[in-house]
A and B are shown apart, each in its own frame.
Chain A
């Protein structure tokens, strides 16, 4: 039986030789080029060593294995050339001699004539002098070569994550390895690395010069289709056929957001066509565990400032500006710029040019970013599934989102879904921009009952709905726990300007700073097109600001370039004249310009402002404010809530 796709993609070592060869449908051209380098060489002189560079998930491991299998079945090579494939992570190799020891172990698995090689090597180790390891390395290497020559065999070492090995070598060891690479005719290396070797090589020593490099790029559209077609032969044929037939643009969406990285594409693809009831998330978790040591090492190896910057960029997921990075990291601008340049040079991040001088930055390896969010995203907020949110937003429109929610709820009700999958999908869906408040509550309730039914601790970790958050805020205010209320406010995902308006009123004079902050938020939101174009939101905001006496701001606002661009004075004439009525001293002529047809509307607005003013002055009448709140959030009226008892 075939192993599940996701797992095999992440761990091609688990595939059988037949499966791997059968599924090898992209990267043929580079495979052929590499293979020609192997098959044409007799290795009677030191040959060029080969290095495959490509982001993680681009198919390096698969390519190495594919080459090894080809050597094994090639009649011209199999008699004298042995491919020795190293495990993807070589934690046991920390010195050059470990490389020869590991080679001895792997050779023993290949051919019984080498079964005692390691023991013989091991026996050469003595600890009676200061340079024991250096001496042992030479002895071990000599023994390996002697044994190979005796058997008339040569070896080709297939080493994944070669950069990790190089990093561990001392200067002397890397000089030694360079010597071996340029003089030894019995060993050839085919290495793979997610980063350019020279970027890691501190010793400024030209070891990397001796590798002929091949760069794996992201798959193009045609290759992606070929890959997915192949996948469909053994896996979800119906969904795959439908996808290829009718939804090519979706495949292209996946390809673009992943940069054509095979691993990440398959992962997202599986999440979309998931009919395994969330099992894909279990695979994902396993996979994340597997890459954790590797990714952690990689992150830890970065200089401190770069770690901080990577953290900021990773948690943002989307491309982010230097300004935002600076804000999040609190590093100086020039430090941020210098480190960003370094990170770009080392292929950590990708620079996205904009029309201005200020570029945007994004982590290059999207799967590393997924890992970072899932493992380092702060538990309290919903960063962990940000990647999934963006993907779902790109992939599904409002109808699609609703359909997905409906499908999930059905699974939840039947009790048929992976628990983690239920958790992640729910968390991601409630953050997407296509969801509305009712669907959100519905999905969260279903997920909660499902997880509680499974006695899963994840039930308590589900986010609160917007409605629940709003109620909780009100309860905190009622209990005079203002800090707690304010902490919750930014967690409202569907928070709109009304929310801020309401709390600006609610918190009243007593909490001047907080009021000021909320007013600032309203003011800044007024400069967004979204608000300027939403009649209700806009009118509420103007009303509240008038009630707060923010006349100066409003005057400037209506006269701003932004307002002119949006034609606001024209569209909201009544509001403008209502404002000028409060500014009769400052701009007496303006108020007089008002035409008689507007009198009534303007008066109504002024009346509304005075009402709001009164409301704002009554500091202790919470119930009145709750009524006002319920006007802004009709959905809460029918819901029992801790605050309901305070309604008149």
Chain B
């Protein structure tokens, strides 16, 4: 298993996560459309690509990356193009005559499309020509019983793009169309929405959250310590790295928040240290691993956590107080509920307290220790980074 911190882990490089995958199938089996929720770099895209690469029988997943889409017309074009490139059509072409005919019709329909001339007006019903084509295509796809799941990665970004390039009204219209499509599409069609910025947050900036309340939320948790250790063992074996038996336990304890990305970053340093010295990696080398992880060169991996807050809390005062709160936690390792209320209520109305704390927990910054009634950084690595580069 290769260590691929900078690319989506696929095939043998993907560490299997049966629990979350089963959960997704359960929801799909119950005909739900899904919102896959998780902070950045927890492994959402890898899970989707895994579904696409190794689907269960009778399922076909169509992955669409949408972050560069700025127009409704292009959105539907991308969906159809992805379908054309998906495994579905090759499966159909090997099937019955009925399926082969269906395939030909779909291919014929999509091939007629060219890269859309963008900026065209929507028609009176607020539809673009590609959208109409897509509706027809869905009807066509409904004629077979293959379960077809469109996985829309970076969908919230598309919404932001459309809102910025066109208007919030067009974005709202688009959201409503999507909702209608989910409600009226044939029963074998499903959509999974996800993205590195929170969908509820983006939708909240456009319209009421009603437009997405039909989505079934599935959260992607971090790995368990056992799984994290197992994954690390497989990766290190690939690089012939020798290490002491307790090294990985210690590493996982230090990392605490075991998302694949942070584990991979740490392993990258472990591998480098091993290659430099060729001596077995011990517990004490983990200090060096953390030191290297917190070198300013790696800021590129962590800066996003700070920048995301700027986006999430557009109000400057809120942003400043949230930063102050996180500064406090990074310095003292925790914050009591009382102290956190004190900091936030200095300048923000008390009503916002719950919303802010929820948002910070939802996005993976902090967690609440129920027994001690304290908040902590979810990731020790992030806490150390915050302490070093934000708090200074």
A139 within 8 A of B: yes
CB distance from B207 to the nearest CB of A (A): 23
Contact B118 A45 (CB under 8 A): no
Contact A48 B117 (CB under 8 A): no
Enumerate chain A residues within 8 angstroms of B7, measured Cβ to Cβ.
46-49, 182, 210
**In the complex, which of the residues A142, A175, A197, A215 contacts B300, with contact meaning CB atoms closer than 8 Å?**
A197
Contact B119 A198 (CB under 8 A): no
**In the complex, which of the residues B2, B68, B118 contacts A176, with contact meaning CB atoms closer than 8 Å?**
B68
Contact B65 A182 (CB under 8 A): yes
B278 within 8 A of A: no
CB distance from B7 to the nearest CB of A (A): 4
B296 within 8 A of A: yes
For B5, B115, B116, B157, which residue has the most chain A Cβ atoms within 10 angstroms?
B115
B213 within 8 A of A: no
Pick the interface stretch among A5-13, A128-136, A483-491, A613-621.
Answer: A128-136
**In the complex, which of the residues B11, B117, B303 contacts A45, with contact meaning CB atoms closer than 8 Å?**
B11
Contact A208 B300 (CB under 8 A): yes
Contact B300 A182 (CB under 8 A): no
Contact A131 B119 (CB under 8 A): yes
A213 vs B67: C-alpha distance when bound (angstroms): 24
Interface 1/0 per residue, B190-216 and A, CB below 8 Å: 000000100000000000000000000
A209 within 8 A of B: yes
Contact A130 B119 (CB under 8 A): yes
Contact A209 B67 (CB under 8 A): no
B299 within 8 A of A: yes
Interface 1/0 per residue, B42-59 and A, CB below 8 Å: 000100000000000000
Interface 1/0 per residue, A124-150 and B, CB below 8 Å: 000001110011001100100000000
Enumerate chain B residues within 8 angstroms of A134, measured Cβ to Cβ.
118
- Indicate whether A138 sits within 8 Å of B115 (C-beta atoms), given known contacts A45-B10, A172-B70: yes
Interface 1/0 per residue, A54-76 and B, CB below 8 Å: 00000000000000000000000
Interface 1/0 per residue, A187-212 and B, CB below 8 Å: 00000000011100000101011111
Contact A209 B117 (CB under 8 A): no
Interface 1/0 per residue, B5-47 and A, CB below 8 Å: 1111011000000000000000000000000000000000100
B4 within 8 A of A: yes
Interface 1/0 per residue, B376-388 and A, CB below 8 Å: 0000000000000
A17 within 8 A of B: no
Contact B11 A135 (CB under 8 A): no
A178 within 8 A of B: yes
> From residue 138 to 191 of chain A, which have CB atoms closer than 8 A to chain B?
138-139, 142, 172, 175-176, 178-179, 182-183
> From residue 127 to 161 of chain B, which have CB atoms closer than 8 A to chain A?
157, 161
**In the complex, which of the residues B8, B11, B307 contacts A204, with contact meaning CB atoms closer than 8 Å?**
B307
Given A45-B8, A129-B119, A172-B161, 12 further pairs, Cβ under 8 A: A48-B6, A129-B118, A131-B117, A131-B118, A131-B119, A178-B67, A178-B68, A183-B63, A198-B299, A212-B6, A213-B297, A215-B297
Q: Which 6 A-B pairs have the closest CB atoms?
A: A176-B68, A45-B10, A175-B68, A198-B300, A131-B118, A48-B7
7 contacts between A and B (CB under 8 A): A33-B275, A45-B10, A46-B7, A134-B118, A135-B117, A196-B297, A210-B6
